[in-house]
Amino acid sequence: MRWRHRAARLRRAAALLLAAGVATGLAGCGQIGYYGQAVGGHLELMRARVPIDELLRAPATDPDLRRRLAEAQAIRDFASRELGLPDNGSYRSYADLDRRYVVWNVFAAPELSLQAKDWCLLVVGCVK
């Protein structure tokens, strides 16, 4: 008999946990699409990236792109050497996604105001 009570309690706890998960998901259901496209975009970016050194050595690299990549690499090296920023893998690769912009940053404010609107997101919390 005792095991039946435990089993019933476990079922109730599981049902409560499931209901809480569904309620949380429904409360943020407008954000599900946002997170889906954000993850998809990040994966696309990671798949398309190529080390800048490799592009600088490739004869097929467009001369204008080569110049801009070399300048970005020189700036990155200066930041590490002279400003003491970490010399890690940051800004060492390039991704051509065949579109004009990699991301769009959108800012919102009430009409005739410069006060930014607050946005509350699941992962980062509330931001302006």
Residue 2 in tokens = 């005792």
pLDDT at 54: 96
pLDDT at 22: 67
Dihedral sign, Cα of residue 22, residue 27, residue 28, residue 32? positive
Which residues make Cβ contacts (< 8 Å) with residue 16, sequence separation at least 6?
none
pLDDT at 3: 62
pLDDT at 107: 80
Dihedral sign, Cα of residue 26, residue 29, residue 31, residue 32? positive
pLDDT at 38: 83
User: What is the pTM for the complete model shown?
Assistant: 0.60
What letters, b where the CB count within 10 A reaches 16 and e where it falls short, cover 55-82? beeeeebeeeebeebeeebeebeeeeee
Residues 66, 68, 74: CA angle, nearest 5 degrees: 100
Q: What span, in angstroms and rounded, lies between the C-alpha atoms of 24 and 56?
A: 48
pLDDT (tens, 9 = 90+) of the chain, 128 residues, equals: 566 667 677 778 777 777 766 666 655 556 677 778 888 989 999 999 999 999 999 999 999 999 999 999 999 999 999 999 999 989 999 999 999 988 888 788 888 888 888 877 766 677 76
pLDDT at 128: 66
Give the residue from 43, 40, 27 showing the smallest Cα distance to 122. 27
Give the bridge partners for 49, in sequence order.
Answer: 95
